[in-house]
Each structure stands twice: as structure tokens, then as C-alpha cells.
Structure 1
Amino acid sequence: MKNIKLKMTATVIGVITIVGLTGCAASKTADKPAPSKQYNYSQFTKIKVGMTYEETKKILGAGKKDSDKQGKISYKWKNDDYSFIDVTYSTSTNKAIEKMEYKLGDNKIKVSKNKYDKIKGKQNYDDIKELLGGDGTVSEENDTGTGTTDKEYIWGNDSDENGYISVSFTNGYASFKSGNYLK
């Protein structure tokens, strides 16, 4: 009988210890601050294709050189959570020819597989906007060299259970689509 009480007491103490340690580990995780976002979508929208690196630095500060090849230099401004802004400059003109962001926008438009299937190409931005139910978030802009800019927009959010749809526009019309986590 004494042996059974001793085993039960040891079991109870063991359970209390495990629960207590688990609680401490969870609180240490909960106390950990979220990764900082020094760079945000608002800053990204202020960067324009055609800007110089010096003009971009006034908005974002100095970037980290990401690549330097084939007449182009790319700089990246990266957050702790791996979101970033990337701008590519032509070495001949010293002007931005491409800008892109990753995971800075937070588009709340609800998208679906059904809506995705209705994007057939040769639709303009307003057509896609109406189809998907609101404005997209610009994720990339490219200077075409012909006086126009091609853009890629995202509707939805890849951290949302409803997924996202990305549409590229060339010469003002949908030219490529992709999506993920669509229901």
C-alpha cells in the first residue's frame, strides 16, 4: 500500500513538473518579439522605375548589393522575417529598371479557384479587378524599354487560408497568372 502511494505521488509530481516546464517553454516563445519590419509596402510604393539609386536611398537607406552582372546592379533591403524590397538598376543609365517586393503587401481580397479559372488573358487590370472583387497589390514593376511598365499584382494573401492569385500584365493586358492554396 505504501509503495502504491509513493508511486502515485511520484507520478503526480512528474506530471506537475512536465506541465510546469511546458508552460515555461511556451511563455518564453510567447515573450519572443515578432521579427521587425524595417521596410514596408508603403515605402515600396514610393520607389519608382526610373529613379536613381541615390533617390531610392533617400527613401530606404543604403541597400545591400545583391548582384552585379550583364549591365545591371541589384540592391536588396531585407527584413528579419525574410520579406524584402529588391531594385535593379541599369549600369548605363543608373536608373531603376525593375522593382519587386516579397511578403510586404497584405491584400485582403478573397480569391478562389473559380475566380482563378475565369482569368483567360487579354483582360486589362480593370477587368481583373472587377472579376476578383477589388484592387490588387503591386508586387513587381519592370521597365519594358518602350516607355511602358509591365506590372505584376497579387490578390489575396499566401498566409490566408483562401490563398492568392498573381497576375502579370504586359502592355496593359493579363499575360500570365499563378495562384496557390485556392479552394
Structure 2
Amino acid sequence: MKHPARILGLAALALVLSACSKLTPKNYDKLKVGMKYEEVKQVLGAPTKCSDLLAVKSCTWGDDTRFVQVSFIADQVILFNSSNLR
């Protein structure tokens, strides 16, 4: 049998961690075409993953269900989108 106090503690920790996430509509609204990669990192934190294809660098913050995806050319934002931020 699981301990109720432990379950409550883990639930509280998950709530605190999700509240600290930088994946918010407010931060998403700060993104602009032409921003540098480092500027985006200042707004959203370190990306979860990045990939390079030819001259395009594509980075994702978050997971498969809740994310922000940003594409860069020459270290500048050219396109960005999100899913389930609200």
C-alpha cells in the first residue's frame, strides 16, 4: 500500500514544477521573428531538443503534448508555433 503523505508530496512537487515552467502564453507572446537563438533561450530556457537540417535549426521546448517549436536560419527566428499552452 502506498503512503498517502508520499503521494501528496509528489503531487505538490509536480504542481510547483509546472508552475515554474517557462512554457506560458505570456512568454510565447514575447517571441518575435528575427530574435536570436540566445534571446529565445532567455525567454523559454534551454530547449528540450534541437535538430539541424541544411541551414535550418529547429528547436522544441516541452514534450509531445505541450510545446513551443522554433525554427532558426542564421541564428534568427524565422517561424514559431505552439500547442496546448493555454
TM-score by length of 2: 0.70
Alignment of 1:147-158 (within 5 A): none
Q: Distance in 1 between matches of 2:60 and 2:71?
A: 9
Residue equivalent to 1:85: 68
The yes-or-no answer on 1:47 pairing with 2:28 is: no
Q: Does 1:66 align with 2:50?
A: yes
Q: Residues of 2 paired with 1:97 and 1:103: CA distance?
A: 21
SS at 1:46 equivalent: coil
Assess if the C-alpha contact under 8 Å between 2:49 and 2:61 holds in 1. Answer: no
Q: How many residues align?
A: 77
Spell out structure 1 runs of 4+ moving beyond 6 A.
Answer: none
Instruction: Give the structure 1 partner of residue 81 of structure 2.
Output: 100
Worse overlay, 63-72 or 37-46: 63-72
RMSD of aligned alpha carbons: 2.6
Question: Which one has a bigger Cα radius of gyration?
Answer: 1
SS across alignment from 2:69: strand
CA distance in 2, matches of 1:76, 1:58: 14
So what's the TM-score if we normalise by structure 1? 0.36
Higher relative contact order (CA 8 A, sep 6+): 2
Q: Indicate if the aligned counterparts of 1:77 and 1:84 stay in contact, CA closer than 8 A.
A: yes
